[in-house]
Amino acid sequence: MIPHHTSALLISDIHLTPSMPLTAQRFFDFCEKDVSQVEAVFILGDLFEYWIGDAAAAHSPFTREVRRALASLSSKTKTYYMHGNRDFLIGPAFLKKTGIMPLADPSLVNLGGQQYLLSHGDALCTADAGYQVFRRWTRKRWIQKSFLRLPLSWRRGIANHLRSNSQAQYQHRASTSHHRNVIKTNVTQDACAAALKTFDCDQLIHGHTHLPAHHQESFGAQKWQRWVLSDWDLDRHESARPRANALLVNAEGVRSVDLVKS
């Protein structure tokens, strides 16, 4: 069933972690103060910096605080959650305790009378063939079950290694060719076109790339609009301004909302 709402706020890539307290506090404030005028909230993945299992997270004071914020949010506003590439192991136990509704990637929704295709975005980055192989393997249930059986210290070590490796690869590619790096880590037009054609839609909203923008695009005879959500970072802004935005979608269309200033 396609979710129908007259208005919604969409966010993604908050990357919550105790080491980024300003970002976390802005998310807690968002859950309490910014959602009163909309029918629904959609979190399009990477809510957490990483996730190594519901049972492990249950022992974290920080995660319990996030869970309380989400439970408060879902008690006021219909709240949906889509897995990202950092937190795809969030399971039914966590979702049940927060009251948020799981959403498949991609999903078609009707907001303000218009249809939009929602995605986290990493599946659309098909220029990075190595990542797509990794993504397919890590989404296999038997792989996930095997990982979740490992000791907690091993899972944490693997997660930290993957994060460090990802950052090192990105920095290496950025130092050798910024243009090539942007292409490899961005969505491709053919992947977007294929997804939109499958759902007979011409409006796409996603996160993941940390490149917030509004695009008018085409591929052959197919045309569409694409909105990209920003990541959130109010802590590590030595070389860039603090950032956190949402997209407000209603009968008037799509509008970016700067949550740093609000």
* pLDDT at residue 237, rounded to an integer: 62
Measured distance CA(123)–CA(198) in Å, rounded: 15
Contact 207, 195 (CB under 8 A): no
* pLDDT at residue 144, rounded to an integer: 78
Measured distance CA(71)–CA(29) in Å, rounded: 13
Measured distance CA(255)–CA(9) in Å, rounded: 10
* pLDDT at residue 157, rounded to an integer: 77
Domain membership of residue 136 as a residue range: 4-258
Q: What average pLDDT values come out for the chain (262 residues) when binned by 10 residues?
A: 93 95 96 94 95 75 94 96 92 93 97 97 93 86 80 75 58 48 77 97 96 94 96 78 94 95 70
Contact 128, 140 (CB under 8 A): no
* pLDDT at residue 76, rounded to an integer: 94
Report the predicted TM-score, pTM, of the whole model to 2 decimal places. Answer: 0.89
* pLDDT at residue 177, rounded to an integer: 45
SS3 string, the chain, reads CCCEECCEEEECCCCECCCCHHHHHHHHHHHHHCCCCCCEEEECCCCECCCCCHHHHCCCHHHHHHHHHHHHHHHHCEEEECCCCCCCCCCHHHHHHHCCEECCCCEEEEECCEEEEEECCHHHCCCCHHHHHHHHHHCCHHHHHHHHCCCHHHHHHHHHHHHHHHHHHHHHHHHHCHHHHHHHHCCCHHHHHHHHHHCCCCEEEECCCCCCEEEEEEECCEEEEEEECCCCECCCCCCCCCECEEEEEECCEEEEEECCCC
* pLDDT at residue 147, rounded to an integer: 79
* pLDDT at residue 163, rounded to an integer: 65
Q: How many domains does the chain have?
A: 1
Q: Which phi and psi angles does 131 have, rounded to 5°?
A: -65, -40
* pLDDT at residue 239, rounded to an integer: 54
* pLDDT at residue 111, rounded to an integer: 98
Contact 79, 43 (CB under 8 A): yes
Give the CATH number, domain containing residue 155: 3.60.21.10
